Amino acid sequence: MRHYPVVTVTGPRQSGKTTLCRTVCSDLPYVSLEGMDVRTYALEDPRGFLHEYRDGAVIDEVQRAPDLPSYLQEVVDENPEPGRFVLTGSQHFGLSAAVNQSLAGRVGILHLLAPGLDELARFAGPQRGMLEVMWTGAYPRIHDRGIPPDVWLRDYFGTYVERDVRSLRNITDLEAFSTFVRMAAGRTATETNLSALAGDAGVRHNTVRAWLSVLEAGFLVIRLPAHRSNLRKRQIKAPKLHFLDSGLVCHLLGIRSPEELRHHPLRGQVFESWVASEIFKARTHRGEEPRLRHYRAAGTEVDIVMEMGARTTLVEAKAGSTVTPRFFSGMRRLGSELESAGFAVDRRLVYGGDRRQSRSATEVIPWNRLLEVDW
């Protein structure tokens, strides 16, 4: 806000955008385009609407008036004073199109994802174990209001499909889309095989590609590209899919309690996605590009490869509470090859135990101390 006349805060629905903006910008008037009367005013008379807030405002759900940013451009060009307008919205696909076309060079864009593990610790209540943290997820309303996670996530997903996805013209079969999302949840922390996913969901290959883009635009999933080194000729080049909220994954997989998660065959994959999302959120909330990759080639696999300036950090995520030598094998092989090629390498293992250690030239980090590390 010190640099731009307009700042856009976007992210998944119910991540806390409105609460954040109204708290930080309490000196600015707040207006939401969610209400039909206000939205109609903004749609039918955008100049009159903006004249009422010519000194600045927090405008929520701005994607519901897609032409408004074009008129806002005129307002901020006449008076480019920084920090006048804050725009928020949940539908990244609608908001991005509206803002990028009209306010290029005039707007700073921030992404607010669900709270990280350190932020969730500030909510009142007993300390949760690893399985309960993963099963509950990170959406703040669950923690703030004490709503049972399975109840809230059911309603959240229903609202997402019925409200956000229905607004996209190229998605007409909502039942097929819901089936696809559940199939995708079963593939969290795996390389994206569009053909296999299309076959399981009963839709075309191109449809799955488009639907995955919708999930990414709505901040439900991220895809980590393959780390492209020239050290090996045969590398897996498909991106790896991760859901950004482990609680939503558990809901979509039909896991109804932390104890069910303990014995579920996908527990390790859910944990890996949880670790990836915590790192992704930590970097995103600092305003940094996450730059997360994955690596698999000829028997060597590393869950996360991070490029951090002049250093490369290799990360393995293991849900087990006992550290075993096989946890280090992928990082050891890839790390040695990178170092022999002149790269500086750090190795980190995040696991389900509670002791911080240093083993095999690797920093061993307990799951509940994940964010004590500088990512």
Give the model's pLDDT for residue 186. 97
**Domain with 222 in it:** 117-372
Residues 163 and 298 in one domain: yes
Residues 305 and 319 in one domain: yes
Same domain, 220 and 366: yes
Query: Is residue 291 situated within a structural domain?
Result: yes
Alpha-carbon separation of residue 72 from 53, 54, 67, 86, 92 (angstroms): 11, 10, 9, 11, 19
User: How many Cβ atoms are within 10 Å of 185's Cβ, its own excluded?
Assistant: 23
Are residues 250 and 342 both part of a single domain? Answer: yes
Residues 150, 89 within the same domain: no
Of the residues 111, 137, 171, the one at which a domain ends: 111
* Residue 1 is assigned to a structural domain of this protein: no
Whether residues 13 and 55 share a domain: the answer is yes
- pLDDT band for position 230 (cuts 50, 70, 90): low
Residue 175 lies in a domain: yes
Say whether both 106 and 162 belong to one domain. Answer: no
- Per-residue pLDDT at 95 exceeds 70: no
Beta bridge partners of 316: 349
**126-136 in b/e burial notation, b at 16+ Cβ within 10 A?**
eebebbebbbb
Kindly report, residue by residue over 314-324, the tens digit of the pLDDT: 999 999 999 99
Picking from 111, 138, 160, the residue at the C-terminal end of a domain is 111
Query: Does 97 share its domain with 152?
Result: no
Per the CB < 8 A criterion, the answer to whether 114 and 15 are in contact is yes
pLDDT band at 64 (very low <50, low <70, confident <90, very high): confident
Residue 335 falls within a domain, yes or no? Answer: yes
364 shares its domain with 300: yes
For residue 287, being part of any structural domain is answered with yes
| Residues 21 and 132 grouped into a single domain | no
pTM: 0.93
216 and 356 share one domain: yes
